[in-house]
Structure 1
Amino acid sequence: MSLSVTKIKALFGLKLRLIISNMSLMTAPIMAILYVVFMKSIMQSKAPSHVALISLLLGMGLCFNIVMGGIMMTSYPLAEEKEHHTLRVLMTSSITGPEFFIGSLLPPLAIMTVTNLILVPLSGASWSQIHLGNFLLITIITSLTSLVLGYIIGLIANSQTQAGVYSIPMMLILSLIPNFEQFNTTLKSFSSYLYSSTLITILPPRIPLVAFHGRFVRY
């Protein structure tokens, strides 16, 4: 089956405009950027080292963007199209399934990748610490995982409300547990099975930390 580049480009442009104009879908990228900027301003004097600060900021920022953004940007629009019966119209047109999948997948992936790159300098990290090739490879793979997971939720849900109900527990588990695994051995064992923990353990420069009376202490 041959793919039409023209149809994919047209669908890409349409989906990109719809996502950017929908502030609810842009919540995760914006939240990730604001989180890194805000936490950096209040934690610079409290973190035990510059590397530890980068690890905390970049890890949580990437989780917000990749996990929450990936799931929301595919589950909500797909559920909306099912709810308003526009998906049925698209699938009965000349657009094939693979063309629809690729054209709908690329816009959120592009937005998430640009946001991930913005988070690196905002967190205070240098590219020598991150390694651009590894960074792009891991973030793109995990972003695609979140996007496909969002598609699955969108297919199961019959409305945007249902998509939100199904998405929120998944987003909380995938984004919060990897960031709190160092405080609990049970969470650490469970987190090792989550793809989002790769972002926390591999990409940022890591320093093992524990919280002790409100301060970060190395162990």
Structure 2
Amino acid sequence: MNANTRKIAVLCGKDARDVLQNPTMLVSCLMPIGFMLLYRYMMRRIGGDAVDTSAGRTLTDGFLMSTAAIFTIAMVGSMVLLYGLAEEKEKHTLRTLMLANVGAGQILTAKLAVTLALTAITEAVCFLIIGAPARMLPAFLAIGVIGAIPIMLVSALLGLLSRDQMTSGLYAVPMLLVAIAPMFSMIGEEVSNVTRFLPTGGTDQLFKLLAEDRLLSMDALPPVAVTAVWIIVCTVAFGLLFRRLARDN
């Protein structure tokens, strides 16, 4: 195991302990599960027998899978990184890591690994609650995990910009609103035309294509491109901001 891998492994252990010791982060992981139990119950009560028809199942599964993943991404993906980095800045842990010659890539890789693992576990539990066909689970987790990366990177940027945890709390609300905005795309075409370009917009569209068994169609290319652009831009921005903070320290 080389030095770079050892550093990332140590950082992953530290970040995992931080999550387990932080009640806010633990609650963030439990909230999507609770909301999916509520949503599933409401859909059954409102839809009645129509939910069990072929068309009803397609519509319901697409909505619930998208909602479960996006809500998980919003609560787990954004909150863990945002509060985690803000806490490290407040306690000067991040400065210590910088002075110890730990790079931006190592810190970001470790935090993404821990957060993505939590996201995948939470999404898997939500999928079981939804009751969608088991054959969709691999694609569901793949879309949910990869689709979480853009919002995680945006949260990481905001975490670096936060002076302390109180400041990060101010960023958390607009961050959550941006993350869950695609859930309201059904309001109208005008709303959908805007939300599809947000960090989680591509993820929302891919889940609906998955429910319709059209994930491998050409219609999947635009949402994949939107997700890829967000990942590239935010990764570059994180590296530039981290280097600036390292110089300031």
TM-score category, normalised to shorter length? 0.7 to 0.9
- 1:104-143 pair list within 5 angstroms: 104-128=111-135, 130=136, 132=138, 134-143=139-148
- Amino acid corresponding to residue 123 of structure 1 in structure 2: I
Bigger RCO (CA 8 Å, 6+ sep): 1
Provide Cα deviations, 1:175-200, integer angstroms capped at 9, x if missing partner: 0x212221233211111212313333
- Could you tell me how far 1:73 is from its partner in structure 2? 0.9
Q: Is the 8 A contact 1:67 1:196 kept in 2?
A: no
Q: Which residue of 1 aligns with 2:97?
A: 90
- Could you tell me how far 1:71 is from its partner in structure 2? 1.4
Query: Distance in 1 between the 2:137 and 2:119 partners?
Result: 18
- Could you tell me how far 1:114 is from its partner in structure 2? 1.4
Query: Distance in 2 between the 1:135 and 1:59 partners?
Result: 9
Counterpart selection for 2:150 from 145, 160, 181: 145
Q: Which residue of 2 aligns with 1:188?
A: 192
Q: Is the 8 A contact 1:29 1:64 kept in 2?
A: no
Gaps of 5+ in 1: 207-219
The answer as to 2:20 corresponding to 1:20 is: yes
Query: Distance in 2 between the 1:13 and 1:76 partners?
Result: 17
Q: Which residue of 2 aligns with 1:217?
A: none
Provide Cα deviations, 1:51-91, integer angstroms capped at 9, x if missing partner: 23323322222111112321111111111111121211111
Q: Is the 8 A contact 2:76 2:118 kept in 1?
A: no
Q: Is the 8 A contact 2:32 2:75 kept in 1?
A: no
Q: Residues 40 and 136 (structure 1 numbering): CA distance in 2 closer, same or farther, change over 3 Å?
A: closer
- Could you tell me how far 1:94 is from its partner in structure 2? 4.7
Counterpart selection for 1:167 from 172, 177, 186: 172
Q: Which residue of 2 aligns with 1:49?
A: 51
Provide Cα deviations, 1:140-187, integer angstroms capped at 9, x if missing partner: 222111211111001111111111211211211220x21222123321
| SS of equivalent to 1:202 | helix
Query: Distance in 1 between the 2:107 and 2:206 partners?
Result: 33
Total equivalences in the alignment: 202
| SS of equivalent to 1:25 | helix
Q: Which residue of 1 aligns with 2:73?
A: 66
Q: Residues 85 and 8 (structure 1 numbering): CA distance in 2 closer, same or farther, change over 3 Å?
A: same
Overall identity of the aligned pairs, in %: 24
Provide Cα deviations, 1:17-52, integer angstroms capped at 9, x if missing partner: 211221211333211111111221233132232423
Q: Give me the TM-score of the superposition, normalised by structure 1.
A: 0.83
Q: Which residue of 1 aligns with 2:205?
A: 201
- Amino acid corresponding to residue 180 of structure 1 in structure 2: F
Q: Residues 193 and 21 (structure 1 numbering): CA distance in 2 closer, same or farther, change over 3 Å?
A: same
